Amino acid sequence: MANEVILRFNEVTFEYGKKKILDEAVFSLRRGMKVTLMGQNGAGKTTIFRLIMGEIHPEEGDITLENGMTMAIATQVVPRDLLDRTVLEFFAQAFSGRKVYDIEPRIKKALDVVNLSAPLDRTLRSFSGGQQARLLLAQALIQDPDLLLLDEPTNNLDKEGIAHLTQFLRDSKKTCIVISHDADFLNAFTQGVLYLDVFTKKIEQYVGNYFDVVKEISARLERERMKKVRIEKDIQHRKDQANFFAQKGGHMRDVARKMWEKIDELEEDIPDERREDRTIRNFAIPCQRDLSGKIVEMGSVSIVKHHKASQKKLAHPVTLKKGERLRLEGPNGIGKTTFLEALASGTAKGVTTEPGTKIGYYRQDFSTLDFDDTVWHTLADAMKDGDEEKLRSHAAGFLFDAELLRAKIGTLSEGQKGLVAFAKLSLEAPGLLILDEPTNHINFRHLPVIAAALDRYEGAMVLVSHMEEFVKQIRIDHTLDLGAL
């Protein structure tokens, strides 16, 4: 039946370690709805998906699912322990060991939906980030679930991939919950928002156009901020009066005492500052000193078409000097990430990098970070000569408090890993900055700050990003479309 509730959170409380993620959270989802799950990086959005899937269980409260309802999830990234599986093995895993005799045609049908051609004997590691994103979605779709959970499904997808996914969600009758920071993508199909408030640990439910809901949330936060300002102003005025009366003695002290009682009541009414209001501080990525002349010169590049690599000579060689930026474009699977990896390691054929150039590399899979190291040690290694106070101040600018500084990189959300990567880059002073999809996983509030930092960067830069609104905020001197070679 349409409009029936198929999922309900009833006063669900959940803690991860000593950190409370949900506190008596309540929401429900009706069949056929397509909603967005919003919240700050690290708030616990992916944890909610794990609770729905039954991978973890709440400390208190109930999660009620419609009898017989099936679910599938497309995660943000392929788990590291699955990267060496073949496509066939990856899809077979979706059936939990059950023998599926028609699995190959079912795989082909699922891949057709996500517009991907993939040999069944090819390992997942050999696919680009965008192709892996399509494989993750196809693995969820092959299960034909009643409820589809999509965790940052547009990450690494090219324009064509995003358009294809958007149309699928518009046409699909499945119930969907989507986590994404891509506002235009969400607004194309979203019918409502589940808003995880990282401060109250509650889930607020809104119905309607995505952009309208975001405005409604922003307006509510502004009303709370203004209320706080008014109450604090009133409290200060009353304190001044109470102190004045207390000095007068006699019955005026009784008046002062009553005023202090009223002040206590008002202070209890002050709305706490919402952490969602917090955005990373403005930051800079210093440039390596003593750089001059050509930093990078590209005469040819390697591309991949029909799963085969070839070297293509550039009709117009690209030269990057200090302060010049190159945007690298092309469809998923063309070899953008492979090229950036080779550029960063100094093994890119047809490319010359000035000896002694220090390279800062933002990888889309965060493999430049040691997942077993803590945030503190990661930043301390990059800072080298800084003191404890400077490190903590720098980390706080990227929203890492004392507790998060002690956390291992591997335990952070994908968005928090991205912030660690930027915090680290801003301590390294590279001469060449290589950025592979730096908007993936990052909360939309932080993107203008990051774009401004990149636009101010004075070294050479090579950027891959599918997010046009982000790229528009950064001066680009050269564009190289690998798909056109």
pLDDT, tens digit, 9 for 90 and up, residues 88-111: 999 998 887 778 888 999 999 988
pLDDT at 47: 92
What span, in angstroms and rounded, lies between the C-alpha atoms of 18 and 160?
A: 43
For the chain, percent of residues with pLDDT exceeding 90:
48
For residue 2, pLDDT beyond 80: no
pLDDT at 350: 92
Q: Which residue has the tokens 């056929």?
A: 32
pLDDT at 277: 55
The larger pLDDT score, comparing residue 407 to residue 305, is at 407
For residue 270, pLDDT beyond 70: no
For residue 276, pLDDT beyond 60: no
pLDDT at 460: 96
The larger pLDDT score, comparing residue 308 to residue 63, is at 63
For residue 301, pLDDT beyond 70: yes
Which pairing describes strands 192-196 and 203-207: parallel, antiparallel, or unpaired? antiparallel
Segment among 215-229, 262-276, 316-330, 347-361 with least mean pLDDT: 262-276
Span 81-90, mean pLDDT? 92
3-state helix/strand/coil string of 86-155? EHHHHHHHCCCCCCCCCHHHHHHHHHHHCCCCCCCCCEHHHCCHHHHHHHHHHHHHCCCCCEEEEECCCC
pLDDT at 273: 54
Span 150-160, mean pLDDT? 84
**N- to C-terminal Cα distance for the chain?**
52
The larger pLDDT score, comparing residue 239 to residue 174, is at 174
What pTM, to 2 d.p., does this model score? Answer: 0.72
What span, in angstroms and rounded, lies between the C-alpha atoms of 267 and 251?
A: 25
**Contact (Cβ atoms closer than 8 angstroms) between residue 412 and residue 375:** yes
For residue 471, pLDDT beyond 90: yes
> What torsion, rounded to 10 degrees, do the Cα atoms 164, 472, 335, 181 define?
-50
pLDDT at 42: 74
For residue 3, pLDDT beyond 90: no
pLDDT at 453: 97
For residue 149, pLDDT beyond 70: yes
> Mutual orientation of helices 388-397 and 414-428 as an angle, nearest 10°?
130
Superfamily of domain 5-70+145-215 in CATH is: P-loop containing nucleotide triphosphate hydrolases (3.40.50.300)
What span, in angstroms and rounded, lies between the C-alpha atoms of 313 and 36?
A: 44
Span 330-353, mean pLDDT? 91
Q: Can you read off the two tokens belonging to residue 453?
A: 């930092």
pLDDT at 187: 86
- What does the pLDDT look like over 38-59, one tens digit per residue? 887 778 898 999 999 999 999 9
**pLDDT, averaged across the chain:** 88
Looking at the chain, which residues constitute the CATH 3.40.50.300 domain(s)?
A: 5-70+145-215, 294-484
For residue 425, pLDDT beyond 90: yes
> What torsion, rounded to 10 degrees, do the Cα atoms 139, 76, 33, 140 define?
10
pLDDT at 116: 86
> What torsion, rounded to 10 degrees, do the Cα atoms 118, 122, 127, 131 define?
30
pLDDT at 298: 94
pLDDT-derived band at 242, boundaries 50, 70, 90: confident
pLDDT-derived band at 442, boundaries 50, 70, 90: confident
Which pairing describes strands 351-353 and 294-305: parallel, antiparallel, or unpaired? antiparallel
Superfamily of domain 294-484 in CATH is: P-loop containing nucleotide triphosphate hydrolases (3.40.50.300)
pLDDT at 452: 97
Span 285-308, mean pLDDT? 89
**Contact (Cβ atoms closer than 8 angstroms) between residue 181 and residue 150:** no
**Contact (Cβ atoms closer than 8 angstroms) between residue 312 and residue 301:** yes
For residue 389, pLDDT beyond 90: no
Span 458-481, mean pLDDT? 93
pLDDT at 272: 58
The larger pLDDT score, comparing residue 208 to residue 270, is at 208
